[in-house]
Homo-oligomer: A and B are copies of this chain.
């Protein structure tokens, strides 16, 4: 694990000298700022932080962070980050990616990094569109959505990122609105603390090609009534006046009103993000009203590098080889005189 920094940073320390080139009003600015604010809180040394991205508007992110970074090729950031982390487990490695970068061309690396549970943090900017290429539908675009490549409406049903991730054995999954820097910052810090692959889906508005795709949930006015912000150990309560809650009815989650027909806060489900069995987390991920945000799943499991290091230590302990010469001159050699 990365050693903590003596020096106290401010967000300024993480700003690079590059002009930020996203469209005015793009949620990407919010994510950038939240990250720059979260990092000083994490107590990690600047030189130990690495941002690796693929290609897309979202993937321009590393250029704007004054840390180590790689703006790699489309979809491959999870693979690259895996190598970086295995090479040096002391680094805090972040994959910054878009819905297309991670789930279209990068889909295979995305599911495998989650399966392996290596200690990386993945931030997915989900704007349900290909932004950089100027507006084609993505694997999260809705059926019927009209885009440059679907002028008559999209015919491909979307993935639900959280559903796919949990199907791929994700141990940590969080979801947050792109216009909510406060909670986003908190979640980034939680993701960093979590040992294992953490995935954060940001509902990111693309003002140019998919403007308003989340307003029904994220608009300041409706937000509190349409979203539930989940916290481990806390009851699943939401609503402007905190009077709505979730209960289980068979295998369905139901919204009830506290105070109405005898419902009290005790009847409301309490969120257990740390539960190993993902059933409830999957139900929450699929919930449409209210939309679940916050850390939905955070199950502690052994990481790939922990398993690898353990094996390596064990093998080293039982091996007679310390230098390659030991190997080269071992076993079936013979002398020519």
Contacts and interface: CB of A to CB of B under 8 A. Distances in A.
Interface of A: 105-108, 111-112, 115-117, 139, 143, 152-153, 155-160, 163-169, 248, 250-252, 277-280, 282-283, 286, 301, 304, 307-308, 311, 314-315
A57 B99 CA distance: 34
A224 to B, nearest CB: 27
A308 to B, nearest CB: 5
Nearest to A314: B152
B156 A116 contact: yes
B311 A152 contact: yes
B251 A157 contact: no
One complex includes copies of this chain to the number of 2
Contacts of A168: 159, 164, 167
A157 B115 contact: yes
Contact of A164 (B111, B152, B308, B315): B111
A78 B323 CA distance: 47
| Closest 4 A/B residue pairs (Cβ) | A167-B167, A155-B307, A108-B108, A107-B108
B304 A155 contact: yes
Contacts of A307: 143, 155
